Amino acid sequence: MASPSRRYAPLLFAAWVSPMVLVVPAAQSAELYRYQNEDGITVVDWAIPADYVSAGYEVLNESGQVVRVVAPAKTETELEREADAAKRQDAEAAAEAAQLERDTFLLRRYSTVEDIASARDRSLRELEIRIAILNSQRDTLSDHLSGHEAKLASQAAAGESASQYELDTVAALKAEIQSLDDAVEGRREQAAALGEAYNRDIARFGELEVIVALRRQMSVKSTSP
C-alpha cells in the first residue's frame, strides 16, 4: 500500500503552484487545459500559465473531449472596431425610430399630398409677413438714421463739434438696423429650411401612399375567398 505522503503529494503540489499559473479548482480537477506555447507547440496540462491565457485555450475532460473553448482576448483594434460598429448600429436604430415616428405623424395629420403643400404655403406666407414687418421697421430706422447723420454733417460743415447726443443716436440706430438685418437673414434661412422640410414630407408621403395602397391590396386578396 502506498504511503500517506505519496498519496497526498498531488494535492500538496497543486496547493504550491505559483500564482503565475492558472490552477484548476478542486471541483473541476478532472479537466485539462490545451493551449499553444510560445513555440507554437500544443500543450495539454492540468494548469495553464497566465501568460498564455490571453491567447485562448480549450478545456478538456478526462476523456480528452472539448467541454469549453475560451476565445483569445480581443486586441485594442478589435475592441475599437466593435465599439464603432455598435455606435453605427445605435445611430441606424435611432434614425429608423425617428423615421417611423415621422411617418406615423404624416399619416395621422395629412390625408393627401395637397394637404402638406397647403400647410407649407401657409407657413411660408407667415414667415414672409414677419420678414416684411422687419423690413418696414428697418426702413423707419434708416430714415431716422439719415436725419441724424444729416445733422452731424451740418455741424461738421459749420465747424462745430459733433453733438454727443447725435453720435450716440447714430450708433444706436446702426446697431438696431444691424439687429434687424440679422433677424431678416435668420427668417429667410428658416423659410428655406422649412420649405425643404415640407418638400421632404411631400416626397415621403407619396412613398407612404404607395405602401399603404399595396398593403390594402394584399389585405383584400388575403381575405377574399
What does the pLDDT read at residue 63?
A: 84
Ramachandran angles phi, psi of 12, nearest 5°: -65, -35
Q: Locate cell 505559483: which residue? A: 18
What does the pLDDT read at residue 17?
A: 42
What does the pLDDT read at residue 27?
A: 44
- As beta bridge partners, residue 34 has 44, 58
Q: Answer for the pair 125, 133: CB distance below 8 angstroms, yes or no.
A: no
DSSP letter for each residue of 129-180: HHHHHHHHHHHHHHHHHHHHHHHHHHHHHTTPPPPHHHHHHHHHHHHHHHHH
Residue spans of the chain under pLDDT 70: 1-29, 215-225
> What's the grid cell of residue 127?
414667415
Q: Answer for the pair 196, 143: CB distance below 8 angstroms, yes or no.
A: no
Measure Cα distances from 209 to 12, 72, 106, 113, 199 in Å.
Answer: 78, 52, 11, 9, 15
What does the pLDDT read at residue 216?
A: 67
